[in-house]
Structure 1
Amino acid sequence: MLIAAVDVGSARARAGLYTLQGHLVARASRGFATLPSPGGQAGFAFAEIWQAVADALAEARRMAGASPAQVQALAFDATCSLVVDAPGFSPDVIAWHDHRAVAEAHEVSAIAHEVVARAGGSVSPEMQTPKLIWLRRNRPEVWAGLRGIRDLCDHLAFRATGLPARSLCAMASKWPWLPDRGGWADDLLARFDIAGFPHDEPVLAPGSLIGPLSEQGAAELGLDRECVVATGLIDAFSGALGAAPDMPALIAGTSNCVMAAGIRVTPALWGPYPGAILRDESVTEGGQSATGALLESIRRQYADAPSHDDILARIADAPEPAPGIHVLPDFKGSRTPFADPLMRGVIHGLPLDRDAAALDGLYWRAAVGIALGTRQVIAHMGLVPDRIALAGGQARAALMRQLYADAIGAEIHWQPEDAVLRGTAIAAAAPMLGGIRAARARFAREVQVTRPDPAARLRRDRDWKIFQRMQQHRAEISDMQGE
């Protein structure tokens, strides 16, 4: 028996196959395109995402030598992208990082409401409420023709099973839905005239059984109809589930998210969200947008397009580069602590050189700025952790794990196998193993611990002081410009 987990990120669909004992057997991925357009808009084609999912699953099965009948459970995680199932709307997936609804987000943020409070007092244009308002106002013909509108992880499960269901994880964290106050915030829907979309599907906790694959879903995914699908999660929440338990988790991928339990409602933090991961626990998220995307944008400037691993290996083998460059990494706005989607990044000390050595320096100093931003997020959350569980693509490199340990001043606990896929596999296995906690215990793996290097403390403390001063200067310049 094998368990399948599918993670749909910002550019790739990844599929992993696990044994019921939690061992990763095979993993494969396939890419899909981002379709940008003016005005801060970006989207995906769901058909392309779905094909990438099917291809990744097929490749993982081929690598494992597994027949369709051996895969008996499946779950999906995904970015909080919005699937608009309606005639005439293309691309039909609004990307999570799409900022077309900045004005609508500002309008929602101006009212006193629990949904706004749990968004840290400032609703992000990356959440679904402002996107719903934008769609209702700007594309009324699409709104009128909606067959469905869902978070991407939910639409993937719907396409697989034909059974409508919504993940409590996505609903609590991205939609006007309050799990501890009766569900849909009907007053907010009415206030903005957005109550008319299809939204009567059941809301299920992560790891709940949805049902078996439909005939169409089984054929498209190359699996048997006896394979059952469980409710998935938003990708960062899945990473927190799959990371080392009983400590805050940092999911460092395209963006950075710090997830922790037991935090009260606080400005510029998202949450607390009851039941978003575990039924009896509320989780809060603080984050930075487009961190990994910043590193990727620098990688693309190299003439020979090296991998991130190649860049980091070269940096690790030489003295720390470019100490005179300092980076504020908020090139896609600030989630925490400023809650400003229009904030932009700053680079100090940038030379004209664009050879590999110069780009290595810029890459590394951007990574330092990201790690310092994570330190600031953790402090804003009121946390003083002695250990942090690290997950996401950035966690694969030992140099990045050391950087986070040094910048935060805490041990980094990393389970070498992919924590995001593992979290989704835990959700898929939960109906078979007696619940999500039991599945998490079964799937846990030995951690590698990275401790702060005392020799790096002086450098990072200096970087931290400069980081804060640059933020002050940025704020002064914005005030001078009247922004």
Structure 2
Amino acid sequence: MTNSYFVGVDVGTGSVRAALVDRKGKVLRQCVKSIQTWNPENDYYEQSSQDIWSSVCHCVKDVIKDTKKENIKAIAYDATCSLVIFGRNGEPLTVSKTTKNEQNIILWMDHRAHAEAARINETKHELLKYVGGQVSLEMEMPKLLWLKNNLGNTWKQIWRAFDLTDFLTWRSTGTDTRSLCSTVCKWNYDASKMHWSAEYLTQIGLADLCHNNFEIIGQRVCEPGSAVGDGLSEHAAKELSLLPGTIVGTSLIDAHAGALGMFGCRARLDADDKKLESSLDNLEGKMALICGTSTCHMSLTHEPCMAHGVWGPYFGAILPGYFLNEGGQSAAGILLDFIVKSHPQYTNIKTKLFKDDFRHIYTYLNNLLEKMASERSFDDICYLTKDLHVWPDFHGNRSPVADPNLRGMISGLTMNSDEESLALLYFAFVQALAYGTRHIIDNLVEKYKRVPYTSMLFCGGLAKNNIYVQAHADICHLPAVIPDEQEMVLVGAAMLGACAARAFENLEATSKHMGGTGVLIKSKTSTHAYHNRKYHVFLQMLAHQREYEDIMNEK
């Protein structure tokens, strides 16, 4: 397989990306194409499966155009955990109050199903223990229940309901299979029995899904990295410009693909750091952070760890033989964008950058923070926010509080509206996201006695922000590793294809062979005491928000 290549496709929130990847996990070529999102009203986000598939075809054809088709051994996908609905004959079926069939996807970040999630959680069904004690309104069962309650005409016509990852493999092969990753993580599939629970579906009001042996939601569930059907269908192969029969790997959710890519990554160590090698290579000690629009916090254990507000343990959801725990922040990159773009100085800085080689605004703000710290004779930029504190849940809390109704808080604002005030506010939010990660870690290790973490690995857009990564290392008191190959979500997708094509022994071996190496970022022990104090303030802000709620609910 010396001239073997694999295509990885990642369908994110705002774009489709494809990459041509070699056996060493190196991305040789990639292509990006934006996809459309409709936002018809507050908290409603909808997409089109036709638009997404068209973008997939465009990107795949671009990345393989200079490669012999026979050398491309497999293709595999990852995608956001969005709900895709089809009517008879596989035609798109609307999920929208607009009734437009084109809009047949409820995006992962859509929060319309508040009431339905609450109803499901009221059942206190035993399966809910695998999602931190309560289902999230971002998962698929609340969204399906919303469709039943609000779009009866759609509900009566549903032929198939897919997770977006499973739509892509079905569209590629014509074979109706589902990934164990998507079903167990987002659909409340019973992985311990490898079967849908008719009792659960009936209890939550979705008994309709039990008909014909659960054919609407999938009768065959496969492990990630296994081959789907007979490979690419004639029709899909023509659309993708690949050979019919090209192997298609069972997919993963996008964040999980990033975690798969990173779990096999090894830190490059200096001679002085060799003593860290065994702890950094311990798979159970790794937390993978996939940092983009939102952030997902992934970790694996041999024994199950059940924790409130942290999803899982999901058996086999990424790697066979391991339980997955999944924490997360619903708004991360999108939150920083919101804070920066809503500040009075944003337009002025963008104008300035336009004249200065389009330097990225976050690079500009990071440099400004370093300058401010130097002018104040601070040993570290972290001290700049001594009097500025943030609780960052502007879009609710996914982990570990698991409360979509939590809101953001800021303490320490002034009337300043200059560039420095923007830099400080932005940095306070960066730190708040890192304190949120520490909150997840502490919840798992201290409260639920999980195996202690020894390192964090980062990929995604925010992983390219050195201040974001360093803040996490310092605040969580853990070393961080940034893979040399930045596009680890795409590499993770390609790994699924490589495993399906049997390029390596199994998926864990595939991850180790293709995971590559990364840069080690050490935690600054000199700032630990300071961050411990700020973390205490962080937790107090949560307690205060609860107190304010109680006061306002008094009668």
| TM-score in terms of structure 2 length | 0.82
Indicate conservation of the 8 Å contact 1:250/1:257, yes or no: yes
Indicate conservation of the 8 Å contact 1:389/1:413, yes or no: yes
- State the AA in 1 paired with 2:226: S
How has the CA–CA distance of structure 1 residues 277 and 398 changed in structure 2, closer, same or farther, with 3 Å as cutoff?
Answer: same
Take 2:427 and 2:51, find their aligned partners in 1: how far apart are those partners?
34
For structure 1, which runs of at least 5 residues remain unmatched after alignment? none
1:290-316 deviation digits (Å, cap 9, x = unpaired): 112101223434215463653454246
Tell me which residue corresponds to 1:365: 428
Indicate conservation of the 8 Å contact 2:369/2:423, yes or no: no
1:74-153 correspondence runs (5 A): 74-86=75-87, 87-89=93-95, 90=100, 91-153=103-165
Is the deviation greater in 128-137 or in 450-459?
450-459
Indicate conservation of the 8 Å contact 2:435/2:538, yes or no: yes
Indicate conservation of the 8 Å contact 2:78/2:493, yes or no: yes
Tell me which residue corresponds to 2:259: 240
> By how many angstroms is 1:71 displaced?
2.5
Is the deviation greater in 100-109 or in 318-327?
318-327
Tell me which residue corresponds to 2:318: 277
Decide which of 184, 188, 191 is 1:179's aligned counterpart: 191
Is the deviation greater in 460-469 or in 167-176?
460-469
Take 1:212 and 1:21, find their aligned partners in 2: how far apart are those partners?
23
Tell me which residue corresponds to 1:255: 294
Identity across the alignment (%): 32
How has the CA–CA distance of structure 1 residues 145 and 404 changed in structure 2, closer, same or farther, with 3 Å as cutoff?
Answer: same
Tell me which residue corresponds to 1:397: 465
How has the CA–CA distance of structure 1 residues 46 and 138 changed in structure 2, closer, same or farther, with 3 Å as cutoff?
Answer: same
State the structure with more CA Rg.
2
- State the AA in 1 paired with 2:243: D
How has the CA–CA distance of structure 1 residues 456 and 28 changed in structure 2, closer, same or farther, with 3 Å as cutoff?
Answer: farther
Indicate conservation of the 8 Å contact 2:123/2:204, yes or no: no
Tell me which residue corresponds to 2:90: none
1:288 aligns with 2:359: no
How has the CA–CA distance of structure 1 residues 163 and 356 changed in structure 2, closer, same or farther, with 3 Å as cutoff?
Answer: farther
Look up the SS of the partner of 1:16 in the other structure.
strand
| TM-score in terms of structure 1 length | 0.94
1:24 aligns with 2:27: yes
- State the AA in 2 paired with 1:297: F
Take 1:298 and 1:229, find their aligned partners in 2: how far apart are those partners?
41
> By how many angstroms is 1:54 displaced?
2.3
Alpha-carbon RMSD across the aligned residues, in angstroms, is 2.0
Look up the SS of the partner of 1:350 in the other structure.
coil
- State the AA in 2 paired with 1:85: F
- State the AA in 1 paired with 2:332: T
Decide which of 489, 503, 508 is 1:420's aligned counterpart: 489
Decide which of 246, 260, 274 is 1:227's aligned counterpart: 246
Take 1:461 and 1:109, find their aligned partners in 2: how far apart are those partners?
34
Tell me which residue corresponds to 2:275: none
Indicate conservation of the 8 Å contact 1:286/1:378, yes or no: no
Take 2:60 and 2:364, find their aligned partners in 1: how far apart are those partners?
30
1:206 aligns with 2:224: yes
Tell me which residue corresponds to 1:476: 547
Take 1:50 and 1:68, find their aligned partners in 2: how far apart are those partners?
20
- State the AA in 1 paired with 2:192: D
Is the deviation greater in 414-423 or in 403-412?
414-423
How has the CA–CA distance of structure 1 residues 182 and 141 changed in structure 2, closer, same or farther, with 3 Å as cutoff?
Answer: same
* Number of residue pairs matched by the alignment: 481
Indicate conservation of the 8 Å contact 1:244/1:413, yes or no: no
Decide which of 405, 423, 426 is 1:342's aligned counterpart: 405
> By how many angstroms is 1:51 displaced?
2.3
For structure 2, which runs of at least 5 residues remain unmatched after alignment? 88-92, 210-215, 265-282, 351-358, 374-380
